[in-house]
């Protein structure tokens, strides 16, 4: 049975009323959800297991879930600034970070813009270059409509924010961001200093070859490949076969990586 968060709150962050949750105790681990997602949809399955050994700080980004919107387009740079501001508000000087999908892209920006904030970094199901994915993936954002959004993600948003207008706004903002995705240069990725774990599914959006490229670029990096689709290994609800989280998942690996004192 899942337990609820030890604390839920809102923080005034760069013109946003940002929603966040805290679970467990120990070294802080920030969780950054994927595009079109909420804390629960990306991490609801894994939070109780991670919170056994960590203090989880799970956030919802601009226009997502319970966090408000503002009159600015979504960007990974701004998301990173928002998380840095939240950590200042909470008086937390340094954290580990796990970012999934677009949340992983925000985590990249956080590591580039605020390296002093990050101890260890986990990048889950990311791509760093536009050309790492087939043209058909990007073409899919042209003319995208809300009915094309996975039903579990639509339902997850409405569960925490019962606003059809808010759901459509989040969807449109995410689509616009992805239309203009440019990624990062190899030099930027090579400049990441934190010990890093790259995780990918063997049927993920980004191909295995790209995960290997990222692993080879980051100086202090480990790589793990799990069976399944985009975030199956984390229990992301849009990717669970039959709604069931596989027993072979990333929990123990994440704990092992974060607790390895040789990688600091």
Helices (H), ranges, 120-162: 135-139, 151-160
CATH code, domain carrying 18 = 3.40.50.1820
Please report whether residue 24 resides in a domain.
yes
**264 occurs within a structural domain:** no
In a domain? residue 233: yes
In a domain, 193, yes or no: yes
Instruction: Indicate the Cα dihedral angle 84, 138, 202, 240, nearest 10°.
Output: 80
Give domain status of residue 149, yes or no: yes
pLDDT of 1 over the 50 cut: no
Domains held by the chain: number: 1
Residue 2 lies in a domain: no
> Does residue 1 sit within a domain?
no
Residue at token pair 């990249």: 108
Residue % of the chain over a pLDDT of 70: 97
Q: For 75-88, b where at least 16 C-beta lie within 10 A, e where not — what string?
A: ebebbbbbbbbbbe
Measured in residues, the chain has a length of 264
| pLDDT band at residue 188 using 50, 70 and 90 as cut-offs | very high
| C-beta separation of 110 from 84 below 8 A | yes
Would you call 226 helix, strand, or coil by DSSP? strand
Domain coverage including residue 175: 7-259
pLDDT tens figures, 73-92: 999 999 999 999 999 999 99
Task: Read off the pLDDT of each residue in 198-210 and give the average, rounded to a whole number.
Answer: 97
For residue 56, name the pLDDT band (cuts at 50, 70, 90): very high
Provide the 10 A C-beta neighbour count for residue 133: 16
Average confidence (pLDDT) over 62-74: 97
pLDDT tens string 110-125? 999 999 999 999 999 9
Q: What is the CA radius of gyration of the chain?
A: 17
Residue 241 covered by a domain: yes
- Asked if residue 33 lies in contact with residue 98, where contact means CB atoms within 8 angstroms, the answer is no
Average pLDDT for the chain? 95
The predicted pLDDT at position 263 comes to 62
pLDDT digits (tens, 9 = 90+) for 127-170: 999 999 999 999 999 999 999 999 999 999 999 999 999 999 99
């Amino acid at each position: 049975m899942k337990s609820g968060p030890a604390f839920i709150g809102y923080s005034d962050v760069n013109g946003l009323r940002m929603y966040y949750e805290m679970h467990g105790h120990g070294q802080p681990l920030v969780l950054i959800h994927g595009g079109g997602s909420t804390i629960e949809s990306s991490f609801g399955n894994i939070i109780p297991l991670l919170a056994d050994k960590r203090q989880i700080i799970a956030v919802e980004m601009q226009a997502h879930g319970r966090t408000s919107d503002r009159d600015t387009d979504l960007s990974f740079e701004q998301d990173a600034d928002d998380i840095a501001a939240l950590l200042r508000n909470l008086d937390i000087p340094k954290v580990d970070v796990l970012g999934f999908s677009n949340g992983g892209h925000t985590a990249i920006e956080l590591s580039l813009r605020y390296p002093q904030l990050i101890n260890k970094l986990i990048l889950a199901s990311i791509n760093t270059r536009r050309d790492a994915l087939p043209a058909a993936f990007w073409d899919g954002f042209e003319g995208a409509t809300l009915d094309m959004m996975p039903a579990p993600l639509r339902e997850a948003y409405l569960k925490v924010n019962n606003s059809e207008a808010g759901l459509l706004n989040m969807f449109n903002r995410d689509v616009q961001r992805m239309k203009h995705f440019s990624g990062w240069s190899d030099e930027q990725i090579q400049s990441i200093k934190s010990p890093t774990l790259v995780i990918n599914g063997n049927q993920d959006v980004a191909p295995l070859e790209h995960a290997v490229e990222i692993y080879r670029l980051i100086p202090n990096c480990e790589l793990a490949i799990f069976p399944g689709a985009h975030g199956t290994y984390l229990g992301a609800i849009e990717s669970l076969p039959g709604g069931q989280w596989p027993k072979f998942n990333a929990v123990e690996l994440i704990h092992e990586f974060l607790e390895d004192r040789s990688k600091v």
